[in-house]
Structure 1
Amino acid sequence: MTGNLRERVVPLQITKDLSIMDVLRAYPQVRPVFIRHGMGCLECMGAMDETIASGARMHGLDLDQLLKDLNEAIKNRDQE
């Protein structure tokens, strides 16, 4: 079996309440997803504490689609 026990029992998932910066630190491969959705200012002071939900709201984005795309990016990390 590959991966640690937690990953096998509880699938990894990016949620709306996580900070943008924490997600970028944990999963650098999601940077292009944020950029594709128009969230290019990922190093600005606001992104440090801003949640994905508040960032999506501020940029007028579809939160569900953003989360879907982010989770797809981390899901495929082992398949690359």
Structure 2
Amino acid sequence: MIVDKNTTINEILNAYPEAMRFFNEKKMSCGSCFAVKFDTLENGALMHGMEVTTLISQLKQFLQASPTRNVSSLNK
């Protein structure tokens, strides 16, 4: 799955449930937000005062370090 600024947070959480921990650590309450189904990473970053490219980079690093799954396809 491609993870970029247009990927919805819901798509990420469906593909990588462990990403909820990442969003919680960033103080992004994605688990309880109604907008999670349609908000993109870009919108989420803007709403939380974050730089989207930094957020994406940190998310990819988090997922790649996750011991629970092979995430080598983050850019495919």
TM-score (norm 2): 0.74
More relative contact order, 1 or 2 (CA 8 Å, 6+ apart): 2
The alignment's C-alpha RMSD in Å is 2.1
Match of 2:5 among 16, 41, 45: 16
Match of 1:26 in 2: 15
- Aligned amino acid, residue 75 of structure 1: Q
Which of structures 1 and 2 has the bigger CA Rg?
1
Counterpart Cα distance in 2 of 1:43 and 1:79:
24
CA shift, 1:16, in A, is 1.0
Counterpart Cα distance in 2 of 1:63 and 1:34:
13
Counterpart Cα distance in 2 of 1:59 and 1:78:
28
How many residues of Structure 1 are paired with residues of Structure 2 in the alignment? 69
Q: Which has the higher helix share?
A: 1
Counterpart Cα distance in 1 of 2:12 and 2:53:
16
Counterpart Cα distance in 1 of 2:3 and 2:25:
17
The answer (yes or no) to whether the contact 1:13–1:71 under 8 Å persists in 2 is: no
In structure 1, stretches of 5+ residues that fail to align are 1-11
What is the percentage of aligned positions where both structures have the same residue? 26
- Aligned amino acid, residue 34 of structure 2: M
CA shift, 1:42, in A, is 2.6
